[in-house]
Amino acid sequence: MDISWTGYATLAAILAPAFLFLVIYIRGINYRRKAPMANLDHVRMEGKTVIITGASAGIGKETARDLARKGARLILGCRNIPKATKVAEDIRNTTGNEDVHVRQLDTSSLASVRKFANEILAEEKRIDVLILNAGIAGLDDRNLTADGLECTMATNHFGHFLLTNILLGLIKKSRPSRIVVVASTALTTNLRIDMRVDNLNFEKGGFWSFKSYAQSKSCNVLFTRRLADLTRGEGVVVNSLDPGLVHTEIFDKSGGLMVGKVVRLGVPFAGRTEVQGAQTVVYVAASEEGGSTTGKYFEECKISSTADGLLNDEELAKQVWEASERLVGLQPNEKHY
C-alpha cells in the first residue's frame, strides 16, 4: 500500500508526541525510584521553633509534616489562610503534634512581610530554623506588586530577603540556628544569562517568564553566600538547596509558554512526589551536616557543586545584596549584621 508524504507526515505527527510521552514517563519512573530519603527518623526537634514560608501546599507542606513528626514547634507563614488552616489541622491529625500554627504572610508584599516579622518578634522567644520556601513561576508578563517589584522576584527573593533581615537578630539569639533557602537547578540556566544587578526588577527590559524565575533562584543562592559571610562565626548556618523536579501546584498555577503550556504537561509524569521533594529540605533543616556547614548548596541530600559558579562569586553576591537592600527599602532598625 502506497503512503503519500502527507500520510507520512500525519503518522509522524501522531507518533512523535506518543514517543516523547513514553520517554518522559520512563525517565520519570527512574527519577522517582532514585529519589533520596533524608533518613532522619532518629532526629528529635522538641523545643525548637521552625518557620516555613509557603507551607500550605507542595514541598513546604510535606516539610512541615516531617518536622512536626520530629516534635518541632511549627509556624506556617502562608498567603491563603483558609487553605493553610486546613493543612495545619491535617498535619496535627497525622503527626499528633498540636504545636502547629498559621500566620498570614504574602512574600510578594513588603507590608505583609514586615507585619508578619514584627508579630513573630513580639510573640516568639526563639527561631531555630527559618525555611524560605514560598515561590511562584511562569508569569506571562512583568506584573508589578504594590511595591513596584516584579512579582516573581518579589515572591521568591525580595520578600524572603526582607523577612530574613528583620528576623536575623532573634535567629542569632537562638543559636545554634539555621536558615534554609529553597532554590532550584533553574539557576544553572541563569549562569549563562547576563544577570544585570542594575536590572533585578526588569525595569530596563529583558523580562520573560523563565528568566525571571531563574534569576530569582540565582538570587536565592547569592543571598545565601552573602548572608553566610555576614553571619560566619555567630552560630548561624545558611544553606540553599535544590529539591529536584517536583510535581506541585507551582506548575498547575503557572502561565507562560515555557512553564505553563509546556513543562506543565510533562511534570506530572517526569517529576517526583511532594514527599520526595521535601527530603533535601528536611535534610538541610535537621541533619547534623546541615547544621555544621554554611554557605553551601545541597542536592539529593548532600552537598553539591552545581551552584559553585554563584557561590564563589563574592562580588556579585555583595552587589545583589546591596541592590536588594535598596529595592526593599531596608531600614536601619531592620539590619542585624
In a domain, 23, yes or no: no
- pLDDT tens-digit readout, 65-123: 999 999 999 999 999 999 999 999 999 999 999 999 999 999 999 999 999 999 999 99
Domain count, the chain: 1
Q: What is the mean pLDDT of residues 287-300?
A: 97
d(CA 250, CA 247): 8
In a domain, 5, yes or no: no
Q: At 236, which CATH number?
A: 3.40.50.720
Q: Spot the catalytic one: 8, 25, 31, 213.
A: 213
* Domain of 164, in residue numbers: 35-334
In a domain, 270, yes or no: yes
In a domain, 250, yes or no: yes
User: Taking the model in full, what pTM does it have?
Assistant: 0.90
State residue 208's pLDDT score: 87
pLDDT band at 24 (very low <50, low <70, confident <90, very high): low
In a domain, 221, yes or no: yes
Residue 18 or 33, more confident? 33
- State yes or no: is 8 an active-site residue: no
In a domain, 112, yes or no: yes
State residue 72's pLDDT score: 98
